[in-house]
Amino acid sequence: MARYLLGRIISAIFVIWLVMTLTFLLMHAIPGGPFSSEKVLPPAVMENINNRYHLDDPLGKQYVDYLKNLSHFDFGPTFRYEGRTVNDVFKDGLPKTATLGALATLLALVCGTLMGIVAALKQNKAADYIATFIATIGVSVPSFVIATFLQYYIGFKMNLFPPIGWGEPINMVLPAIALSAYPIAQITRLTRSSMLDVLNQDYIRTARSKGLPGYIIVIRHALRNALIPLLTFLGPFFAYILTGNFVVEYVFNVPGIGQFFVTSIGNRDYPVILGTTILFATLLVLFNLLIDIAYTIVDPRIKLADRRGL
């Protein structure tokens, strides 16, 4: 176990380093500097700018400097926001992104599992069809379209929730729904099929024949085992919550990292793109490590060594 963990941690560090290097190289492979799209500047000014951002250093030195700064979590200056560093942007945005993400996670887990359970218990009845229909919409409509419809029809037309902005808790309602639409759909489908599997097992029949009430069978016997396959979805789920934020924060004008990232793509603000990619990739690699460890705790039948090949 300790040996496995050590190996996983080393490989996680290696992956993070690789992501840093590749993103750095990609960003520097772009023809023309980040300032070349502006109106033509006098050469002296260009030289000053390059000097200021160390763009005239040799690539190797820039790379070593960047890694050095990253090692104490310094992501460098932004190109487009005078006086702000990427760290400032993260400090501002991360709490908002994290709050929204946590809320969406909660919503997705609760709604998804509930809908999945109901659909499985009422298989081929109206409730099943409604849940399947919602799940189908969630996976077949792009999230920016769902977000726009929610914003316009629920926000502007019906005036139920504020369609834009940030600050009050009520502002979070629509973005959280938009962000959780896709995971809700996936979790509903997963829970439904694994619930149906479990409900056909012998130990459920035994529990029923002992005369246990239905809700105890569902909660204590069926659900616990039905939720294990859900663990495999947690990695992609977390990845979706992070990257889904790009769209949702942009549409609802939430001042989080996601919105900033999308704006930076338009602005070609490379340090922000670079920093966000590294931050998100690091978070995901660490999270996947945690999931792998959680596996062994939740289900002792799963051996860590077996999952390595996956």
The verdict on 29 binding other proteins (CB under 8 A) reads: yes
Are the C-beta atoms of residues 186 and 237 closer than 8 Å to each other? yes
Residue 133 in the binding site for other proteins (CB under 8 A): no
Does 265 help bind other proteins (rule: CB under 8 A)? yes
In this structure, are residues 278 and 293 in contact, taking their beta carbons and an 8 Å threshold?
A: no
Two structure tokens written together for 110: 């609760």
Choose which of 23, 78, 105, 191 interacts with other proteins (CB under 8 A): 23
Could you say whether residue 250 binds other proteins (CB under 8 A)? yes
Q: Give the three-class secondary structure for 125.
A: coil
Least distance CB 302 / other proteins (angstroms):
18
d(CA 168, CA 143): 23
- Which CB sits closer to other proteins, 166 or 261? 261
> What is the DSSP code string of 191-203?
HHHHHHHHHTSHH
**280 touches other proteins by CB under 8 A:** yes
Report the alpha-carbon angle 283-8-277, nearest 5: 25
Q: Which residue has the tokens 């989080």?
A: 256
Shortest distance, position 12 Cβ to other proteins, whole Å: 8
DSSP letter assigned to residue 42: P
Q: Does 145 bind other proteins (CB under 8 A)?
A: yes
Beta carbon of residue 22, minimum distance to other proteins (angstroms, whole number): 8
- 187/182 Cα distance (integer angstroms): 9
Does 232 engage in binding with other proteins (CB under 8 A)? no
| ∠ Cα 239 128 182 (to 5°) | 15
Applying CB under 8 A, the span of 64-72, 101-109, 115-123, 240-248 interacting with other proteins comes to 240-248
Binding site for other proteins (CB under 8 A): 11-12, 14-15, 18-19, 23, 26-27, 29-30, 136-137, 139-145, 148, 152, 156, 193, 196-197, 236, 239-240, 242-243, 246-247, 250, 262, 265-266, 268, 273, 277, 280-281, 284-285, 288, 309
